[in-house]
Amino acid sequence: MSPSLLMDTSDDFVMPTPKAIPVQQSQRTLLLSPPSLSSHQEKLTGVLQAFDRSVTDLQMLDRLAIGLVSLPPSTYDLILILTDADGGRRESQALLSRAILSVLVQALKSGGKLRSQDGLLGESEGTEKNEAILAGLSFESGVGFVKPDTSGYAAVPLKFGRKKAQAAGGPNQTNGDQVSVPLNGKRKSVEETPLPPGVGFDDGVDSDDDLIDEDELMADEDARGPIKIREFGFEGITMSSCR
C-alpha cells in the first residue's frame, strides 16, 4: 500500500494580536513623611515603590511645618500622610496644625483628597477632624477628607443701602429705566373716600330753595327809611370820669 501524503496549508508563524492596554489617568500625588520615617531609608523606599515617581512628590512633614518648603497651589489630586516608622501616627498628629492643614487645602485640586496611609485620618471624632473641617475640607467615610469642587458656583453680588437711597430720594424715586408693572396684569383700583351728599359736585338739582337770599332780608322802603338808634338810659347811675 502506497503511503498517503497530507498537505498542511496553515501558516508556519502567526503574529500575536496585541492586547489593548487600559489607559489609567495618572493622579498627581504628594507624600508627606514624618521625621521618624525619613530616618529609616529602607521603609521609605518600600513605600515609594508603590507609586509612580513621575507624578509623585515627597516632602518632609516637619520641614513643611516650620516653613522651609512651600507647595504649589491647586496641584495635587491626592495628599497622603505616611505613617511613622513604628506604624502609628503620633508624629503626624502633632504636626498637623490648622496652619498646615490650610496649606494642604490650597495645594489640593478641587475634588482632591487628603488621607493617611493607615486610612484612619478623620474616622474618629476629635481635634484633628475638626481642624480639617474648619480648614475647608469635607469628610467622607472610607475616602478621607475631600476638597469641595466650587467651579460650578457663581458669585452673586450683594447690593447694600438701596432702601436708604430710595428713602432719601422719596418714595417715587426710580432709576429712569424701571417701570412698575403689576404681576397679574391689572392695575390696582384707587379707593375713593365717600363724600357727604351734595358736597363737592353738582348733581343738577336746583336746591337754592333751602338757602337764604340776603336781598330778601330788607325791603326797599326799609333801606330808604331813617336808621333808628336805640338809646340806652342809665337812670339813677352816677357817671364819673376816669382818673
Could you tell me if 75 and 109 are in contact, meaning their C-beta atoms sit under 8 angstroms apart?
Answer: yes
pTM of the model: 0.51
pLDDT at position 103: 92
More confident residue, 194 or 67: 67
pLDDT tier at 18, thresholds 50, 70, 90: very low
pLDDT for 163: 64
pLDDT on residue 43: 86
Model confidence pLDDT, tens digit, residues 136-188:
888 888 888 999 887 665 566 666 666 665 666 555 555 555 555 555 555 55
Q: What is the mean pLDDT of the chain?
A: 74
CA angle 222, 224, 230 (to 5 degrees): 60
pLDDT at 241 over 70: no
- What distance in Å separates the CA atoms of residue 165 and residue 167, rounded to the nearest whole number? 5
Give 91-126 pLDDT, tens digit per residue. Answer: 888 888 888 999 999 999 999 999 988 888 888 888
181 or 44, higher pLDDT:
44
Given a cut of 70, whether residue 10 has pLDDT beyond it is no
Q: Which helix (H) or strand (E) holds 95?
A: helix 90-95
Query: What pLDDT is attached to residue 105?
Result: 92
E strands along the chain, which residues? 29-33, 56-60, 76-81, 108-116, 138-140, 144-146
Contact 90, 81 (CB under 8 A): no
79 contacts: CB under 8 Å, gap ≥ 6: 29, 30, 32, 104, 107, 108, 112, 113, 114, 115
**pLDDT given for residue 229 in this prediction:** 67
Output the pLDDT for position 13. Answer: 47
Q: What are phi and psi of 11, to 5 degrees?
A: -70, 140
- Percent of the chain scored above 70 by pLDDT? 55
Helix (H) or strand (E) holding 78: strand 76-81
pLDDT (average), residues 186-201: 62
